[in-house]
Amino acid sequence: MGITVGQSGSTMAEPNVVPLIDILLVLIIIFMVITPTIPKGLEALVPQPNPNPGQAQPDIVAKTVVVQVICIDPRCMTTGVKINEEPHTWDTLGRRLEEIFKQRAEKVAFIKGDPGVMFHEVAKAIDIMRANGVDKVGLITARIEAGQ
């Protein structure tokens, strides 16, 4: 703080703002450096509709892995999972995905949920998929499945 003497002989205190400005500049630089390293979230792939809807390409269909979260009861309070229409339990889902993707170079799978399934069940399946060797997870919606 600086002190100046006024004309009438009284003293006035003036704050020294230079250290405050220095601290603010350092904080701005720190935030500018940290900002690009903040994680963005899940990367999701959305499958594109087939340009030839009448013809399904057999090699692509054979390589595609679709995990479906299904409702077991009418109110969808209990859910189950299927891998390419093969029923599994939540406990065996991880092991089966690990077996499937052990020999594959492309570790891409798609996930689809029944209309009544809560999102946290789909998120649980995505977590299991990511933990067991799937690098990229694509989302299948009803519109994409219908070819729109």
Give the domains, in start order, of the chain with CATH numbers: 2-37 (no CATH), 44-145 (3.30.420.270)
* pLDDT of 26 above 90: yes
Question: Each residue of 88-125: pLDDT tens digit?
Answer: 889 998 898 888 888 888 888 999 988 888 889 999 99
* pLDDT of 143 above 80: no
In this structure, the strands spanning 86-88 and 79-83 are: antiparallel
Question: Each residue of 49-80: pLDDT tens digit?
Answer: 666 665 655 555 567 889 999 888 888 888 88
- Among 18-22, 24-28, 63-67, the least confident range: 63-67
Q: What is the mean pLDDT of the chain?
A: 80
For 24, the token pair is 């603010």
CA angle (143, 61, 108) in 5-degree steps: 80
d(CA 40, CA 127): 16
Q: Is the pTM of this model over 0.75?
A: no
d(CA 46, CA 86): 22
